């Protein structure tokens, strides 16, 4: 995890390196796979083995198809839902990121509803989602769920929110698409296992390829049969690099190493960092808001504490925080995102806590932000 002996990476390429930078087993698998060729039209043994492993880990995946990214997988999941239901709309949360497919960008970058294509409501506000479905339920093909909101801040789901969303979709005859690109890290069976969900379609990406571009989506045999090219009226899914042998080889070994024990260790390391941030903020007399779940967290410095009246600390921008952390040897993500990997050992966690604590001290000495 070390870069020039100084930096610890708590962003992991946008949460896409679950075993850290340059994971040796993945590197060896890639080297071995390349000897057999970088791409071909047929199916590789690693592709079959990987599909079987994912099927065994995630209950909803009776059949799956590989793509080149989570964005592609999300787009095809939406395409499938619209084809099966004959309905035009998808519903998603404001701020939820599902890749670069335009219909899934509703609720991002200042956009709201997209007429005829997508409707949005606030994350963790089941009443607002019920209101949207009450008005448009007959036209909704699927509710697309990001189980933990990561864009901007890390926001875990409120109790009952995800199960309520799933029930809401079923009540209106819509499908449930679970985007587990990021939150597959929460359990061996991903967020479906973590939150006891039964989605119709699961979308995967990020660390799925072990550091290479790879995505996947899948569901029941009944759902996935629409992609059978011998079926009249099928949905076409082509792509020269789908199920790439190099990506499947790297992804297979990556997932084999993502055991329940390693997930638990990542979660514990993240909790240590979250606790340390809050405690050190209190010692400095500044409010540090830390949110998170499992091996991810988000933090921000939002306001001056009453216990530090002699200090002049106001709300700090994400850029201030990121720069301060980087100066202390810690790389974090936009908006204060922190992501742990299995490569973060005791030394890395200690370095991270020391660096983040020093960054808080630097920020505490800054003049109040101008509002």
Residue ending a domain, among 206, 235, 257, is: 257
pLDDT of residue 5: 56
Specify whether the CB–CB gap between 332 and 325 falls below 8 A: yes
* Domain tally, the chain: 2
Same domain for 73 and 133?
Answer: yes
Model confidence at 152: pLDDT above 90: no
Structure tokens, 323: 């720069």
User: What contacts 302, CB < 8 A, 6 or more positions away?
Assistant: 287, 289, 315
Model confidence at 3: pLDDT above 80: no
pLDDT tens profile 20-47:
999 999 999 999 999 999 998 889 999 9
Specify whether the CB–CB gap between 102 and 274 falls below 8 A: no
Average pLDDT, the chain: 92
Distance CA 202, CA 58 (A): 9
User: What contacts 218, CB < 8 A, 6 or more positions away?
Assistant: 54, 55, 60, 61, 62, 63, 64, 65, 201, 202, 224
pLDDT of residue 369: 45
Same domain for 218 and 283?
Answer: no
Residue 329 has, within 13 A of its CA and on its CB side, a CA count of: 18
Distance CA 292, CA 149 (A): 10
Nearest alpha carbon to residue 163 among 136, 140, 186, 145: 145
- Tell whether the torsion through CA atoms of 10, 13, 14 and 20 is positive or negative: negative
Same domain for 68 and 187?
Answer: yes
pLDDT of residue 317: 53
Same domain for 300 and 244?
Answer: no
Distance CA 139, CA 133 (A): 9
Same domain for 7 and 37?
Answer: no
Same domain for 229 and 320?
Answer: no
Return the top range by mean pLDDT from 163-167, 285-289, 326-330: 163-167
pLDDT of residue 368: 58
pLDDT of residue 286: 87
Residue ending a domain, among 223, 242, 257, is: 257
Same domain for 283 and 238?
Answer: no
pLDDT of residue 308: 43
Q: Which helix (H) or strand (E) holds 33?
A: helix 24-34
Please tell me the least confidently modeled range out of 177-181, 211-215, 317-321: 317-321
Other beta carbons less than 10 A from residue 33's beta carbon: 21
In the chain, what's the furthest Cα-to-Cα distance?
74
- Going by pLDDT thresholds of 50, 70 and 90, the confidence category of residue 77 is very high
Nearest alpha carbon to residue 2 among 22, 26, 29, 31: 22
Residue ending a domain, among 238, 257, 276, is: 257
- Going by pLDDT thresholds of 50, 70 and 90, the confidence category of residue 2 is very low
Structure tokens, 43: 């199916």
Residue range(s) defining the domain that contains residue 113: 24-257
Nearest alpha carbon to residue 100 among 67, 133, 74, 66: 74
pLDDT tens profile 236-281:
999 999 999 999 999 999 999 999 999 999 999 999 999 999 999 9
Specify whether the CB–CB gap between 76 and 237 falls below 8 A: yes
Distance CA 78, CA 119 (A): 13
User: What contacts 89, CB < 8 A, 6 or more positions away?
Assistant: 116, 117, 118, 119, 136, 139, 140, 141
On whether residue 371 sits in a domain, the answer given is no
CATH number of the domain within which 346 lies: 3.90.1150.10
Global pTM? 0.92
pLDDT of residue 144: 98
pLDDT of residue 153: 83
User: What percentage of the chain has pLDDT greater than the value 90?
Assistant: 84
On whether residue 123 sits in a domain, the answer given is yes
Model confidence at 1: pLDDT above 50: no
Same domain for 175 and 275?
Answer: no
For 19-174, strand residue ranges (E) read 63-67, 89-93, 118-121, 140-145
Same domain for 285 and 179?
Answer: no
pLDDT tens profile 294-345:
999 998 876 454 444 334 334 445 557 888 899 999 999 988 999 999 999 9
pLDDT of residue 159: 97
Structure tokens, 286: 């500044």
Distance CA 319, CA 316 (A): 8
Same domain for 308 and 184?
Answer: no
pLDDT of residue 50: 98
Give the CA distances from residue 7 to residues 4, 22, 24, 46, 354, in Å, rounded to whole numbers and listed in that order: 7, 15, 19, 34, 12
Same domain for 57 and 7?
Answer: no
For the chain, strand residue ranges (E) read 2-3, 7-9, 63-67, 89-93, 118-121, 140-145, 175-179, 201-204, 215-219, 286-293, 296-304, 330-331, 337-339
On whether residue 370 sits in a domain, the answer given is no
Mean pLDDT over 207-233 rounds to: 96
Same domain for 360 and 297?
Answer: yes
CATH number of the domain within which 96 lies: 3.40.640.10
């Amino acid at each position: 995890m070390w870069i020039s002996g100084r930096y610890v990476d708590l962003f992991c390429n946008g949460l896409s390196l679950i075993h850290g930078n340059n994971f040796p087993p993945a590197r060896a698998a890639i080297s071995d796979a390349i000897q057999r060729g970088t791409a071909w039209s047929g199916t590789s043994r690693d592709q079959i083995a990987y599909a079987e492993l994912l099927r065994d880990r995630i209950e909803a995946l009776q059949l799956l198809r590989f793509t080149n990214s989570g964005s592609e997988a999300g787009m095809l999941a939406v395409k499938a839902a619209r084809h099966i239901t004959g309905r035009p709309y998808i519903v998603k949360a404001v701020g939820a990121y599902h890749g670069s497919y335009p219909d899934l960008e509703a609720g991002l970058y200042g956009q709201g509803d997209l007429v005829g294509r997508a409707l949005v409501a606030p994350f963790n506000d089941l009443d607002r989602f019920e209101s949207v479905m009450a008005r448009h339920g007959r036209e909704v093909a699927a509710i697309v769920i990001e189980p933990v909101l990561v864009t901007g801040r890390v926001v875990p789901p409120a109790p009952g929110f995800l199960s309520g969303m799933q029930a809401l979709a079923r009540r209106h005859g819509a499908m449930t698409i679970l985007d587990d690109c990021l939150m597959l890290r929460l359990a061996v069976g991903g967020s479906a296992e973590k939150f006891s969900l039964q989605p119709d379609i699961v979308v995967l990406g990020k660390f799925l390829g072990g550091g290479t571009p790879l995505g996947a989506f899948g569901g029941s045999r009944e759902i996935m049969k629409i992609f059978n090219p011998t079926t009249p009226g099928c949905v076409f899914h082509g792509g020269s690099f789908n199920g790439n042998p190099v990506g499947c080889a790297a992804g297979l070994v990556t997932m084999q190493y993502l055991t329940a024990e390693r997930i638990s260790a990542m979660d514990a390391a993240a909790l240590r960092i979250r606790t340390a941030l809050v405690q050190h903020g209190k010692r400095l007399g500044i409010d540090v808001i830390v949110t998170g779940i499992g091996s991810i967290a988000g933090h921000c410095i939002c306001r001056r504490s009453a216990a530090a009246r002699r200090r002049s600390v106001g709300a700090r921008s994400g850029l201030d925080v990121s720069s301060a952390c980087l100066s202390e040897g810690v790389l974090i993500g936009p908006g204060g995102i922190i992501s742990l990997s299995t490569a973060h050992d005791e030394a890395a966690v200690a370095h991270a806590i020391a660096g983040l604590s020093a960054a808080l001290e630097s920020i505490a000495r800054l003049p109040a932000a101008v509002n």
